[in-house]
Structure 1
């Protein structure tokens, strides 16, 4: 496939590596939260908040819920609460909490991807070196004091080394929410040391279109700022859609133009933080494997 990539310019941002300022990203996330359909104002009643979230969970679709004026203690209660499948994204400077309530599609894709990485790990001979975590909450490297900004991830991949931070983050949502996922990608790359790759997975409600986006940081010397600047960009993407290919009279999943197939998620040396591993060992996902995931989701409904 061609190597053409399209990264919306408003999703790219530069910042000095030595003096990171999160305000621009916080403002972008706050603006995105205004378009979220479900809003809850927190009034110091955690029971009421839990009930409201529980009422919204009675659906098979992913939901994003913006909770305004949320105190850090509320975040802690929801992160450590009785529903670990919820993802909590907290922007301390705005006292804004965005809670993801995963629907059925979400809960089917998540274990499929965990199994996929486990099988891939064994296939390239690295069984036992990778740790895969589900629903882990991570605080920003750059936050200080009581008011920590933090975020939950669908899947975190890291080395089994005791001190290893998250290297690969996977975020899943219905594709209609892909702009929000892109803000998530920026947050991970700009806020948590050690994150090398963020993989976004967006599937439409009907199971007829799926898109993967691989986000990374690119670095460059900037004479106008101190040291090196980093920019979060969509490096590669792959998209499948249901339709009829020119060479066929039957409908099937088609790899859309511009897709990278297979999509290289990252090298084992990079994602497992082990320079002794051969550089030729890559974690990849092909259009065939991506189609298997979509078909698995559709069969489970």
Structure 2
């Protein structure tokens, strides 16, 4: 079960990020909204969809329930909660559930997190400088949300309410638009504290994995006061497609200063560097994924 942290006090971000509304997270899910009739009924709906996913009768990972209050959500956390991620739009009493009952739903983000840890260890960097905070729940503007996988540097963000630095979101290819909205939410509603979001979109039929790297960039066409930095908005920075014949868009580079919130120590032994995943690294990872998760 995930861990929830209280909402951190609002502070002005040096990025001047522009939060997105909770309704943005519901785009494309409007026809999935169903009446919340209590825990027992919800468990039946979740179990039914989980069985359909496991049997291959559907690829639809998402369920949406309304009205779900904060008290309802706490009860749900206590009584239901395996193999899913929850996004609670508090201002509209709407709960978005992403079901992840199959190994491939979890293995993509977890195994890539292992690659990140391996490179961290090779640089001689301690676990506390990049800690795996799993599926902790974070609270933004009228929304509480769980990541699939997340990391944060405890030396710079030691408090439970401190946001992660990098977030992974994974799902089947049919959910790509929702994953993109998730990336936008993490980057904008954290006040710029989440620096990188990686999306893993899986197409089992063609054995294809699409990876997208999202970061914030200055908004175009917006004017700001001269004494303020430009407003920042989430952008897709990179797209990598790994299919059985090719790896297009590699290498994947995650910049050191964004993850550790400091510059590379040029005198460090072993040397510090950006996290870099070559085409061959990604091919090997994808091969492991398909060998294990299908």
The alignment's TM-score, normalised by the length of structure 1, stands at 0.77
Equivalent residue for 2:29? Answer: 33
Equivalent residue for 1:264? Answer: 253
Q: Is the 8 A contact 1:62 1:173 kept in 2?
A: no
Equivalent residue for 1:48? Answer: 41
Note the C-alpha offset of 1:106. Answer: 1.1
Equivalent residue for 1:104? Answer: 103
Aligned residues: 261
Q: Specify the SS of the correspondent of 1:134.
A: coil
Equivalent residue for 1:153? Answer: 147
Q: Distance in 1 between matches of 2:274 and 2:98?
A: 31
Render the CA deviation track for 1:13-34: whole Å, top value 9, x for unaligned: xxx96695644xx333333212
Q: Specify the SS of the correspondent of 2:110.
A: helix
Q: Distance in 2 between matches of 1:66 and 1:173?
A: 16
Equivalent residue for 2:64? Answer: 66
Equivalent residue for 1:249? Answer: none
Q: Is the 8 A contact 2:252 2:278 kept in 1?
A: yes
1:210-229 matches, within 5 Å, as 210-219=209-218, 224-226=223-225, 227=228, 228-229=230-231
What are structure 1's unaligned runs of at least 5 residues? Answer: 1-15, 243-252
Change (3 A) 1:130 1:207: farther
Q: Distance in 2 between matches of 1:85 and 1:277?
A: 40
Change (3 A) 1:115 1:57: same
Change (3 A) 1:78 1:282: farther
Equivalent residue for 1:281? Answer: 273
Change (3 A) 1:84 1:284: farther
Matched, 1:292 2:284: yes
Q: Distance in 2 between matches of 1:222 and 1:255?
A: 35
Query: In angstroms, what is the RMSD of aligned CA positions?
Result: 2.6
Q: Is the 8 A contact 1:89 1:99 kept in 2?
A: yes
